[in-house]
Structure 1
Amino acid sequence: MGNEFYKLSMGERVFKIVNYLLIIALCLSIILPFLNIVALAFNPGKDAERGGITFLPRIWSLDNFKKVFEAANISTAFGVSVFRTVVGTICSLFLTAMAAYAVKSKTLPGGKFFMMFIFFTMLFSGGIIPYYMLLKSIHLTNTIWVYVIPSLYSAWNLIIMRTFFQQIHPSLEESARIDGYNDFSIFLRIIMPLSRPVIAVIGLFSAVGHWNDWFTGAFYVRKAELRPLSTLLQEMLMSAEAMRDTLNQAAGVNYEMLEKMTVTGNSLKMATIIVVVTPIIIIYPFVQRYFAKGIMIGSIKE
């Protein structure tokens, strides 16, 4: 804390110490469970059932990860996840930013109506069955575009971007119009470069949503070759749990097979978590410098 700490009053010192302790406790509440997940993922499931695994594996093993990557269509599923994450995030960012730039204009006819309509979609939805019927009627089910097109727009992301754009000084746009720029040129050459913080934040939210989404692949896609990684791993996890329950119920008949199993449903779950979150952990350091700034500027209006 340095010499500045001792210059503070007693009340300020207590407040600062309590603040730091709360932050440390919050960090530990996040880090320690994750370390336990890593330890269980690298420990044989059969051994982990004995308990006693905290932050380091008792026996180092890659059996859980081998089981994950032995799944059929794992490479195809990974490709689908990468495609939907990259294409879906880029398209969603560009189109949401264009819509936000349009509705932020005070001269837009019916601007307030459009914002009320956008906000209304945040409060109510049609339900899963009507949504499925809509996707089927426009021939999106059982296609890879069911992952991309329905998620192109998010009302929450649009509102954040609109608020951010409103804080860019209007004199920049006025000077650009004097130089002969049209709206699209202003959007591309002025608004977008100045909006990197909020774009990075919204892009991260969108990418995480695409990467972790298993629901769409499970309910709106029947073709195995079109299912993303998260859906495939979720199905594999359910199969492992079902097999374990079956063998437990018939332990007298399948005792030898039960003893040979080193991977359990719980250990497979931990390995699955590591596989799913690793790409996001790798990407996050590249956008973290924009993260806090983008959240604060995009959510506060002066």
Structure 2
Amino acid sequence: MWFAIQSLSATYVSGSQEIIDRFNRVVIDSWERYAGTATKFEHKRRSYDDRGLTTTIRDLYYEHKDSVEIKRDTMGRITKFRTGEAGGGTGDEIVTGDKRTDEDFTLRVDGKATFNTISMNESFWGGATESRTLDKAGKVTARDTNNDATADYTPTYNDANMLTADGRHYTYTYDMLGRVVTAKDSTATTTIKEYKWDPGCTLLAWREDVSVPADGLDGSDAWYYSVASAEGQAKATIRGSDTDAKELYTYHAAGVLSPYAVRWLGSWVRARRKQQEHPACARSGLA
């Protein structure tokens, strides 16, 4: 038995239609934008294995080019995560020559990754392969960015397992509560970013060097302020002394931020929905 659910009605985003199967899993996800006429901007089909775990997300709108393929081991842990163009016909697997990214994970018995290889297709990104070595805590300790089996960058961390230097571009400093307050260049002499926090660990403001080449923060680099409700919900982002917000956020009736948050950037646009199935999101708790 199949069901269709119609939800989310607003002036600028007309809604979504979701088809779910008998196990209450979304198999078709379709979204439309309404500005006088309805325009479909996302249409995807999801497939699952016998365990109910996502195996493919086929893009039915943009010529199948924004599709996802996930492979797992016998314990359901992700060992491959591939994005790109799905095969022709009814095949949902990513075509080898048209893959955009291809990630492989080597896992320990407890499921934590010890090695991660990321390949990016030449036709999309110019071609690159990066391999990462991870320690027992899941931190990246070495990065081989030119596929020669030799570490090109070695990130470092403090005793609280927080990144203090990425080994390439930036160094980071934290306050006593573990909140990042500055990001500097690789020599730790030029400040590139600054952050301000309230006592409740909510980010209040930030600014970054926007000049090219980067020469450090100065008076031309505006602060961006986050506006929140009394409940702590982010409501808007304001730049410097501007009277209009750069971003506005919408929430579900239950108070949960919509993954399709509508933002104001001079015109109403849709914020792209994140692929929450990505293993990096799952490990970090973002999913």
Query: What TM-score, normalized by structure 2, do the two folds share?
Result: 0.20
Higher helix share: 1
When Rg is computed on C-alpha atoms for both structures, the one with the higher figure is: 1
Higher relative CO (Cα under 8 Å, sequence separation at least 6) belongs to: 1
Higher strand share: 2
